[in-house]
Amino acid sequence: MSTASEPTVRVMHIDPEKDRGDFHAALAIREVVFIEEQSVPESIERDAEDARAWHVLAWDGPHAVGTGRLVELPETPEGESGHWGQVGRMAVLTAHRGRGLGRMILEHLEAEAGRRGLSGIKLHAQVHAFPFYEKMGYRRVGDEFMEAGIPHVECRKALA
């Protein structure tokens, strides 16, 4: 078994149009994690944002094991300034959690947000996952709310 510190673990950008097989692998990971594991309705998990989002796929050797996406927001979050992005669909297959892959995925998405000159990132964190985002520098904004039948909190991180 490899570990996250070995070079076999990597995160790459994928284009839904050009890298169709890889995009289907990302959708399959989301299906396992969100639709099967968390009982999120497929009608919510699959949305129109996928077509315009910047997607990444995490690999452990030949196996696709995690994914996430970045979408540029049309409106600045209340109380902020500049152009912001939203991270979402962060998913790592169960057997691969706790090995630094989630961190690698989020860092890739943040790096892309930085290349685009975005002022910050917001996301809707499932409450159980908030400590993960907090470790990555995100702060909670506002009260808990329900989304897809799961308690969430809005989180934000300003980018330097």
The smaller minimum CB distance to ligand COA, of residues 43 and 117, is found at 43
Among residues 16, 85, 102, 120, which is the contact residue for ligand COA, using CB under 6 A? 102
For ligand COA, how many residues bind (rule: CB under 6 A)? 18
What residue number has its CB nearest to ligand COA?
A: 102
Binding to ligand COA (CB under 6 A) within 45-64 occurs at none
Residue 154 to residue 10: CA distance in whole angstroms: 28
Q: Segment near ligand COA (CB under 6 A), from 5-13, 17-25, 99-107, 114-122?
A: 99-107
Is 125 a binding residue for ligand COA by CB under 6 A? The answer is: yes
> Would you count residue 121 as binding ligand COA (CB under 6 A)?
no
124 C-beta neighbours (distance < 10 Å), count: 15
